[in-house]
Chain A
Amino acid sequence: MFKSFEPNKVFAITSKASKYVLFLFIIVLTIGLTEALVLSPEDYKQSDVVRIMYVHVPAAWISLGIFSSLALLSIGSFIFKNKNFALIAKSLAPSGFVFNIIALVTGSIWGKPTWGTWWAWDARITSMLILALFYGMYLLAWRIYENKEQVIKVTSLIAILGAINIPIIKFSVDWWNTLHQPASINILSTKTAIHPSMLIPLGIMTVAFALFSLLIFLMKYNTELIKVKNKGLNRL
């Protein structure tokens, strides 16, 4: 099913795609930042502090999305013994980690003027910190283990175990009393607690961040393919 993988053909696509993605990323980011920092209104309660949300929320979403992908790819890689899945996961992880850190830092900067504290050991924030630790372990494991079979096993295990944390992060604000507010956007209903004028920059920034992740992924994945080609292998 996944056996017909040809590094040369994929390489031809990934090496060209990154410049178009970079171009698109710059355009979307420019529009997104203009919307978020200039055009969108201030909040009735937080005033200008609300603008941190346009970085904080997309960063958190992307980091959760990428970790979920890592877990799914690791499951696929374990069941079908497909090494390509593992390489895709390896290339996705760094940008997810960066966005996780961005979400934690911007959350802290937002927390000081709104809540009155930089940090709180509440369930949402702590579980997000645990996600960052799992990202760190995942990335380190790729560098520590030399043996190919072993490194794929260890990293897959970290990704699959860490993914149990994902629903905990998502529902922490509903299951327990937390300082962090509950979700404003529910994908199952059309109602949101965010005014449309603020929802638009949030959406554009999410697209921009997703494009950034795609860009980093393409560059990382390209490097992996070059490594495969340098070994003179036509398969993984």
Chain B
Amino acid sequence: MYGKKVKLRVLFLALFLSSVILIVFLILQSLKDNVIYFQSPSEIKSLIELDKKKIRVGGMVKEQSVFVNSEEVNFIITDFKNEINVIYSGAVPNLFAEGKGVVAEGFLKDKNYFLATKILAKHDENYMPPEVKEAIGDK
């Protein structure tokens, strides 16, 4: 139906695209640590040596773990397997709340304590009016 040239161009494009996709895949695979925006408490726990660089830790704010005093905010980030204590002084975003997602940027003091320099609230994929939220309860 189509000429020989058309078939050759299809073959060329297939080879070209598969090689580029493979290259992109390999690059992303080797850059994995940089592509992820934050690490989970479990990943922090499994670190062999502490990173001196600025890193980000993300997870859920553990229920009843937020303590605010005049100088700092203390809370626990959990991924429901491991936990890490966060110490932060400064204003937290409006959506920062217990049981909600959070990303903390800062430095590791040790594997259990994280000194945050910035707090970001992570939003989840759920969108609903307040009445509906009340009807289905807090869980």
Q: Which residues of A contact B (CB under 8 A)?
A: 41-46, 50, 53, 75, 78-80, 113-117, 120-123, 160-161, 164, 168, 176-179, 181-184, 193-195, 197-198
Q: Is the CB of B37 within 8 A of A177?
A: yes
Cβ of A176: which chain B residues have Cβ within 8 Å of it?
A: 32, 35-37
Given A79-B9, A194-B127, verify A123-B37 contact (CB < 8 Å): yes
Cβ of B127: which chain A residues have Cβ within 8 Å of it?
A: 43, 50, 53, 184, 193-195, 198
Given A179-B120, A184-B126, verify A79-B13 contact (CB < 8 Å): yes
B21 interface residue per 8 A CB criterion: yes
Cβ of B84: which chain A residues have Cβ within 8 Å of it?
A: none
Query: Min CB distance, B100 to chain A, in Å?
Result: 8
Q: Which of B17, B39, B120, B125 has the most CB of A within 10 A?
A: B125
- Chain A residue nearest in CB terms to B95: A114
Q: Is the CB of A44 within 8 A of B6?
A: no
Q: Is the CB of B95 within 8 A of A121?
A: no
Choose, from B45-53, B66-74, B106-114, B129-137, the stretch at the interface. B129-137
Given A122-B37, A177-B37, verify A42-B130 contact (CB < 8 Å): yes
Q: Is the CB of A41 within 8 A of B130?
A: yes
Complex CA–CA separation, A50 to B130 (angstroms): 12
Complex CA–CA separation, A160 to B18 (angstroms): 12
Complex CA–CA separation, A41 to B130 (angstroms): 8
Q: Is the CB of B58 within 8 A of A198?
A: no
Closest 6 CB pairs of A and B: A116-B93, A41-B129, A44-B133, A122-B37, A195-B128, A184-B125
